[in-house]
Structure 1
């Protein structure tokens, strides 16, 4: 009969694999979206995703899947503790990997304004105009400098008067970037939380199997043949 501890272990192990799927799906979809034609809706997220370690996220997801597959023998071999130990160390590695990814995104939020200034300046004029349209602003930190009077191709900031009224994009763009990146690194830290719970489950299952083996040895000494 399967114990409640093993049921909890399997549930958390499946959640662990699902987290790997989440990392893989997000990274691949993000990379695909970044290759799409820039629009008002995707221009800002794509610029931010370009600063995220998406390739490392795919690699991390692969390690998670491998770790999950190696946990299957641990479930079907109740008297074996080697597979569990291997899984435990791999989960620790995956948790450290994911934590590093989350911290790298978190660090980006600490220097958002400096990074966004470089990102903005490195974009073609059409991308800058899409950003202005999305945030209803003019220029990055100097609205009047970006606007050109009687510029028919720039309907968002057609004159210095309109530009002055709307103001620069630095505040709105920075606020959006912080909010967007916060969601990403918070999700990464949530995955680490699942990893920690799984490590605790592995430790409890190891302890449980160690005790069961000790009881079997005691029964064998008493002539009960391990029963």
Structure 2
């Protein structure tokens, strides 16, 4: 009974964990798609390819969660082994992305300065418009010429330089992003431990045997011995006489016991026939 309870709890625990896992994968895909389309402020400041990597990570997590839910119902160890392998791949891939973002966000000035100086004017103009700034350190430091920021023509922009604004954004946004990535590693670890728990539960308690025993309980058949020789099993025979014969045979008196037992069976059979004959004769009279 306890084994069946543990098996059921581990199954539903597996399903719940993988539903949470799937939600995490969907969130990653949504974030990757929106960021790849510059759907939020500052998306262009993220490293190249990071949004595609996050989308791929989300797809891997969703595949793993589907396999995990299948493994909760289909009792095949190889499904859980593949599930665990994919979870490990997702975990490592997520760490790589998190480290990449952490390295860029650890020193915002060192990341922003080459990004600004090597960028095209259209990219700098987009940042100036998005963050309402002009130039890098000041209005004369590599500004992108726009209607509001054109110091060469004598137009003095009221907007502040972009350095402080961009630095604060990278420091805040990147820190939040890699913090979420590293915190979400707990979900992968939870999924791994859950799969290991299910494997151990099935190995120790033999969930397949428990379900078979549950079906036998419903059928009313005894669970201590399911062989055809069990006296309580329908269509079986009793082995009591055979066991006694074997016992007395080992004690050296098996022959005498067998003869007396056979004589007793013969006398009982004759008495039974005489009784039937008497009853039949009585009906005729």
TM category (shorter chain) comes to 0.7 to 0.9
The 1:96–1:126 alpha-carbon spacing in structure 2 relative to 1, beyond 3 Å, is: closer
TM-score, with normalisation over the residues of structure 1? Answer: 0.75
Looking at structure 2, the residues matched to 132 and 138 of structure 1 have their Cα atoms a distance apart, in angstroms, of 6
Q: CA deviation at 1:17?
A: 1.3
8 Å Cα contact 1:129/1:154 also seen in 2: no
Q: CA deviation at 1:103?
A: 1.2
Q: CA deviation at 1:129?
A: 4.5
Aligned residue in 1 for 2:190: 197
Looking at structure 1, the residues matched to 165 and 116 of structure 2 have their Cα atoms a distance apart, in angstroms, of 13
Q: Which structure would you say has the larger RCO, counting Cα contacts within 8 Å and 6 or more residues apart?
A: 1
Aligned residue in 1 for 2:59: 62
Aligned residue in 1 for 2:106: 110
Q: CA deviation at 1:9?
A: 1.5
Looking at structure 2, the residues matched to 53 and 66 of structure 1 have their Cα atoms a distance apart, in angstroms, of 20
Instruction: Say which SS state the counterpart of residue 33 (structure 1) adopts.
Output: coil
Q: CA deviation at 1:145?
A: 4.3
Aligned residue in 2 for 1:53: 50
Q: How does 1:1-16 map to 2 (within 5 A)?
A: 3-16=8-21
Looking at structure 2, the residues matched to 141 and 99 of structure 1 have their Cα atoms a distance apart, in angstroms, of 34
Q: CA deviation at 1:10?
A: 0.7
The 1:202–1:120 alpha-carbon spacing in structure 2 relative to 1, beyond 3 Å, is: same
Q: CA deviation at 1:206?
A: 1.2
Aligned residue in 2 for 1:75: 72
Q: How does 1:124-203 map to 2 (within 5 A)?
A: 124-125=120-121, 127-132=123-128, 134-145=130-141, 154-155=147-148, 168-203=161-196
Structure 1: segments with no counterpart, 5+ residues:
35-40
Give per-residue Cα distances to partners, 1:155-180, cap 9 Å, x unaligned: 357699967x8653222211111111
Number of residue pairs the alignment of both structures matches: 210
Aligned residue in 2 for 1:101: 97
Instruction: Say which SS state the counterpart of residue 3 (structure 1) adopts.
Output: helix
After superposition, the CA RMSD in angstroms is 3.4
Aligned residue in 1 for 2:246: none
